[in-house]
Structure 1
């Protein structure tokens, strides 16, 4: 009987696999994710669950048990994860084959650099890379400092009415939101609605329904591109339209804007909230950021990025060919996901005591918080600029800042690809 069930499962899986390859499947119709895939999305507070460390120690490249013989590999080791993220020949990032076009979301709803392969990826990234050089970002620093100070004023005003006050609402979310809106040249009057879409699209508890949030957010950006094609604005969208004209489609430009927005908003918001939480655990750590030199603050920010790794897994890769990885046999068509939070807790990335937050640790240049290779986060340096501005100013302005809720009761996100807090109550 067992053999019969196994045979039926494999035959059924083969039929489904053929259908996916030939017609695609609408991910937005899926309302659950299999239990094994939840492990890299779960945490205990800010720490990965213990299974991640166990996997890294025993099988850093691990085949997860999935239904219908679908083959999904989880990579938790630093060396193996770096190898996957670097290899643009053996792996593809394009997931559009998983959409059949007859549901609420289609392949047109998926775009941006993270889901694009060369040569299109190379062309699109070349268009936006100049805006994220250190020289260009230096011009944004005064604007970012002003945004931070304005939001700290708002936080203080809210605290006069009642405490505790929500740091996420008044500082962590609006600082990167306004920065990205200004960078792209977007109107941010509808901040709350757009912010909710940003959170929903990373929520794995929705299953494939999160693609509906992707679609809605991208439609907002499609409209912005359409308007600016007629009358280019002062931001990056307008500049690209002036430079590229008809050589770039609305779809490709909206995908670029979408990637910049989501990569630069939700992730930095999470880092400001979680970074504050971690720093306030130890008065000496908070004092180091409050009183330290720019070099010391930069080192602390880098360690926070490694330790928190708010982007929990990298964009999925699909093997183009049979290969070996970490002693395991990967087949062509297999999906591979890299646990960035797991890889960053590898001693190879951090040195001694990799599970601990150590603000005195030498910069972990090998950490994967921003990914690696051609798909490394384009806005990595922008995120650093915002964190170097927000965290010291926050702690200097409010030296008696404390978290107002026990850490075990905080609203940590459950099963989110971008880990964070929905609220962070503090007293000033």
Structure 2
């Protein structure tokens, strides 16, 4: 059992991450055992959570994960003093699916009985904020808004107008933040610049905690949290690709879901990290290699020059499975064209070529029906995940496809990915295997 709270908002950009990070660090300062999680497929925010509270944060996604899997992934939080879950987008934003399986953060609040604190960006409105809060609090039975935090408040007069409109609702105001650009974190094309790239991250987290202590009702937020019961064991979302997995990890390969690694380890697999940017090859003692997503387009010259990595990867792939997701898929191809139009040779283990110069945003959930069996999926098995990238395939090559895709609304997207022998890759990131129908 653990006390839990969901930090949500009416829309993206309302200040959820700022509030969440400040609250996590402020609670840690008080000596509490704090855990965090992120609703949705965002793999960047959990690293900030972990830095703020000192414990690993996981992703929860009601579209990709069955309810028992989501609850199982929170098992390590049992016994902690408080669990803070950060919402994605707006509280009710999701995709097509049956009730409770839309990907909306509200699904998690309803399924686990977690109270919601709504962070409202009040810029450009005053008393109308009361109507927004009323709508969010009353839209869906089973989702309880236990409080609100007013953000981007311009003046005491501005605050008085909002508080007067909110008061009749009986929903407490648990904090108020003014306009302060120093509390924002820098962004990149796929969201925040990653936690590991901030030399001053600790300073920023301390500043956010100072703001939380000064402007949030932390005792009120703790009181708003509710006890939830969690399973005893961590769940496995995806079959391990091997018993001993070589996993690329550095600035070019950083998008790995904590719940996948945790599940693989819980299933008995061993994980060995290696760095392609340091010209390291997959360790010979491993029996599978996984190249996750990241930012290979920002490190294309270094990857092109990493002859030891590429030769070792080719040697590894002669006898053992190699799979690449998104950035990893790009590196497995023949070439990668960077933003300036320079073409860089990649591993050439698959025949496609990708380009970051010809950018097009691709974003959304993916349901993948697998073709031939892979090391982590049977033929015909259904996997759920998402795509989030700007790079494009400029030459599809001639490899056999990996899967047939539909999006989160059931629209057919056709065949995707490539496979040649034991090497495979796709642009979509796997979140979990779909449970077979009962």
Shorter-chain TM range is: under 0.3
Bigger proportion of residues as strand: 2
- TM-score, length-normalised on structure 1? 0.25
Task: Using CA pairs under 8 Å that are at least 6 residues apart, name the structure with larger relative contact order, 1 or 2.
Answer: 1
TM-score by length of 2: 0.25
